[in-house]
Chain A
Amino acid sequence: MTIIRNVTEPITAGTSRRSFLSGGAHLTLSATAIALLAGNPRLAVGSARAATSGNDVTILNAALGAEQEAVAAYQLGAESGLLQKPVLDLAVGFQDHHKQHVDALAKTIRALGGRPVEPPKTFSFPTERLKSQADILSFAAQLEKGAVSAYLGAVPVLTDRELAKVAASILGDEAMHWAMLRQALGQDPVPAAFVS
């Protein structure tokens, strides 16, 4: 029996929630903003917010899973012996960004009362198709492109607008990675005026 819910039904009963930040506190638009947010003592999770933040946790966990995969993928690339400097340094730098995203997302999920997804014991990468530096760069570019789309999909549905702002900040970082990788591949780094 199919129990998929009719999409016209309301998702949750409660929509009001306390803002993450109050008073004069401001969120810095940086890749580590979520971590700063998660470290804010005003993030004590109350029952009302816990009831309404479920979707945000789901969305952030989806992003976390993609970030964990990106970290592992760059590790695979770095250890492949196929990346030459300065491309290797670029990849390691991007991996560090993704590690920061992982840390920030996990802290925020915990702060929202959720449980961060654990990375799988092994990732399934198409290693049979990764035989050159260009192969690895293309693979990484695909991951970054996917990440851009994922964050683009997350921004409008995060109920907390500060979280949406931070997700947009990470989106910008991923988009720069994607552009740089395309440039390294000799492709147009910015192929269109819009991303989807």
Chain B
Amino acid sequence: MPTISGLILLATVFAATAAPATQAADTERGEQIYQRCIACHSLDRNRSGPKHCGLLGRRAGSLPDYAYSRAMAGSGIIWTEETLDRFLKDPLGALPGTKMGYAGVKNAQERADLVAWLARVSQDRSICP
């Protein structure tokens, strides 16, 4: 029998998953969300994950100096705000075979903030020459 605390947790998880982004994207918040990505990613360097400079508008799996999964390389995805939103929500479910072993950013507002920040820094020549 589910406990009350378990039901509260479940409701919280569903709320976080289902709620759409309702506010304008906050790039400062997006930068904070990006801290969750820094185990594997960097803006300007390939690490165990590919670098993110120039991500928006790039074809997935197209960096010549990074070894992508076959799934990613052959995905045909172009990284837009929409495709990033769908992928980041559930990487393993959205693109089976991806190397990105991460649960995803379940909160829609957080994803919107993160993508907005990525879009902004990708255009910043001091960070992404």
Contact = CB atoms under 8 A, between A and B. Distances in A.
A5 B93 contact: yes
A63 B100 CA distance: 10
Contacts of A126: 45
A7 interface: yes
B40 A4 contact: no
A50 B37 CA distance: 28
A102 interface: no
A28 interface: no
Contacts of B78: 2
Chain A interface main SS type: helix
A65 interface: yes
Interface string A1-35: 11111110101000000000000000000000000
A162 interface: no
Interface string A62-75: 11011011000000
Contact of A7 (B37, B38, B93, B99): B93
Interface in B23-46: 35-40, 45-46
A149 interface: yes
A146 B46 CA distance: 15
B83 A4 contact: yes
Given A146-B40, A149-B39, A61 B99 contact: yes
B121 interface: no
A4 B48 contact: no
Interface residues of A, number: 38
A5 B95 contact: yes
Contacts of B83: 2, 4
Given A3-B77, A124-B45, A58 B39 contact: no
B67 to A, nearest CB: 8
Interface residues of B, number: 32
Contacts of B37: 146, 149
Contact of A66 (B40, B76, B86): B40
Interface string B80-102: 00010011011011111011111
Contacts of A11: 92-93, 96
A104 interface: no
Contacts of A55: 92, 101
Contacts of A58: 92, 98-101
A66 B48 contact: yes
Contact of A3 (B38, B75, B102): B75
6 contacts: A4-B83, A5-B96, A60-B101, A146-B39, A152-B36, A153-B103
The 10 tightest CB contacts between A and B, nearest first, are A65-B48, A146-B39, A62-B101, A59-B101, A150-B39, A146-B38, A58-B101, A149-B36, A157-B103, A124-B45
Interface of A: 1-7, 9, 11, 55, 58-63, 65-66, 68-69, 117, 123-126, 142-143, 145-147, 149-150, 152-154, 156-157, 196
